A and B are shown apart, each in its own frame.
Chain A
Amino acid sequence: MAIATQDTAVRTGRITRTFIYVVLIFFALFYLLPFFIMVINSVKPLSEITSGNMLALPQDPTFAPWASAWSTAQIGVEATGLKPYFLNSILMVVPAVAISTALGALNGYILTKWRFRGDTILFGLMLFSCFIPFQIVLIPMARILGELGLSGSLPGLILVHVVYGIGFSTLYFRNYYAAFPTELVKSAMIDGAGFFRIFWRIMLPVSGPIAVVCIIWQFTNIWNDFLFGVSFAGLSAQPMTVALNNLVQSSTGVKEYNVHFAGAILAALPTLFVYIVAGRYFVRGLMAGSVKG
């Protein structure tokens, strides 16, 4: 499954190769620059930031901005730091990812191994639902959450993310299971294995790679979501992105850039962590999908 670093037929001269390396390294610096700025400025005292150079290394490194961003910074009206919102995001992401991935696996299994009339149309409808601009559902969603008594609550947000995550998780598992030999499933059926038994014993054990892709995708999307959070979370269930935006955009007092950066990195850590730990599997899986697609 590794992305084969195959030999290209193209022969390149020394000058061309140097040029290629220069371009590649330039872009690497371009991609690293914003994060570099955030990291070095998050450990500078405010005076050093306002008087100095954004690219200069800290002369007097301090972790006070990090402590402040985590536990004492003013978010909206309360000086709680980002800690409670970080917790909100975790409590929202974990069940939403688990439920949408489990449903996606079952749906993908059904849509490839238990096919029935009209299943392609149903899948097409689910697929399109991945790409809708969410503005089209904001108004009715707000109403329904209100009627279900879930407005401004974590369960409400979990529901929203599960519902709008099913499309992608189904897409991933369907494409993956489509390549799995149906004969194996058929012969298990003849041997008398039932629907869940086949799923549990035959499909799940081979689902590792696609489960990783799906979990990373859902985790990143749900953790990074801003629109649903800002629309439906109310005050108590605010996720990290919304709280960070409140911290950064607050118009009162001195702008504590170092605290903003520390907060931004805190908000980025979980997705970066997931990406660093499992990112290569994600790229592989994604590439496998995009080559086929």
Chain B
Amino acid sequence: MASVDHAEGPDLRSRLQDWLPRLVLSPSIAAVMIFVYGFIVFTIYLSFTDSKMLPSYGLVGFDNYATLFGLSAWHTALVNLAIFASLYIVICMAIGLTLAIFLDQKIRGEGVLRPIYLYPMALSFIVTGTAWKWFLDPGIGLEHTMHLWGWESFKFGWIKDRDFAIYTLVLAAVWQSSGFVMAMFLAGLRGIDNEMLKAAQIDGASNWQLYRRIVIPLLRPAFMSAFVILAHLAIKSYDLVIALTGGGPGRATELPATFMYSYTFTRNQMGVGAASAVIMLMGVAAVMVPYIYAELREKS
């Protein structure tokens, strides 16, 4: 037996070495497969059932989706998301790019400014929401303060106004994320070869032309990453609404994420809630899948 062991020893050991990495990886893979993909399949399945307060397994075809798209609340949530996401992405990128370009001009105090721009992303919306809510409240916030300072006609009541409340979400969200976008663009700018810029400048390009024709096109990867990150954050936005407006006034600031939660857990329409979650997932996948695919292809 000993000799057999001896003969098989190295072989067994190297075979174990072959399998060990996969063995160590497997709990993580199993967790992702069950808790992410298994759950996605389960939720998709639920979206085709007559689940109300609890999951139930009577199949009803596309009824939940028909109900969902017939609901004015869902319609409002989608329109709000479109407004919120487009403004959020565009403004964050505009501010982020401007700040990054400005910070890149050998600014004194860059080391102080950068952390100030970035710290909002360390905070929870539930935290910053308390300050924003107060700031925006006409009775005690900015409007009140302006009145105390003698500007009696100053009006800033967006948060109480059905037509404007959605813009307060944009304001708070831009505050939170634009510094982060700045960091992404700054990283891109610092990666650009200066010699090329110098050459262009010798050829007589103005600063404006330099940025528009050379620098901004070179920042394409940073634009892509920023877009993907902001778009998926916009679709997932939940805390922000809860902390700032609670979806109100009325339903004026309802987003798909809050819609899903209230239909599933407080209105006991789990089938409809599941259907709305599936639509949200499809939105995120439409943005993320091509991006991830391109990233992985490029790397391998």
Contact = CB atoms under 8 A, between A and B. Distances in A.
Interface in B133-161: 134-135, 140-142, 144-145, 148-149
A120 B294 CA distance: 12
Name, among B24, B127, B129, B149, the residue most crowded by chain A CB atoms within 10 Å (CB to CB).
B127
A187 interface: no
A4 B78 CA distance: 43
Contacts of A126: 28-29, 32
B186 A287 contact: yes
Interface in B179-193: 179, 183-184, 186-188, 190-191
Name, among A126, A132, A139, the residue most crowded by chain B CB atoms within 10 Å (CB to CB).
A139
A138 B107 contact: no
A34 to B, nearest CB: 4
Contact of A12 (B17, B105, B186): B105
Q: B interface, by DSSP: helix, strand, loop or mixed?
A: helix
Interface stretch (A49-57, A73-81, A150-158, A202-210): A49-57
Chain B contact residues (Cβ within 8 angstroms of A): what range?
35 or more
A20 B107 contact: yes
Interface string B192-211: 00100110110000010010
A12 B105 CA distance: 8
A107 B260 contact: no
B106 A290 contact: no
B235 interface: yes
Interface of A: 3-12, 17, 20-21, 23-24, 27-28, 30-35, 37-38, 41, 49-50, 52-55, 103, 106-107, 110-111, 114, 116, 120, 122-129, 131-141, 143-144, 162-164, 166-167, 170, 178, 194-196, 220, 223-224, 226-227, 231, 241, 244-245, 248-249, 257, 260-261, 263-265, 267-268, 271-272, 274-276, 279-280, 283, 286-287, 290-291, 293
Given A31-B117, A135-B277, 13 more contacts: A7-B106, A8-B194, A126-B28, A128-B288, A135-B261, A163-B31, A223-B124, A227-B238, A227-B261, A264-B127, A267-B126, A268-B124, A291-B188
Interface of B: 17, 20-22, 24-25, 27-29, 31-33, 35-40, 42-43, 46, 55, 95, 98-99, 102-107, 110, 113-132, 134-135, 140-142, 144-145, 148-149, 175, 179, 183-184, 186-188, 190-191, 194, 197-198, 200-201, 207, 210, 221-222, 225, 232, 235-236, 238-239, 242-243, 246, 256-257, 260-261, 264-265, 270, 273-274, 276-278, 280-281, 283-285, 288-289, 292-293, 295-296, 299-300
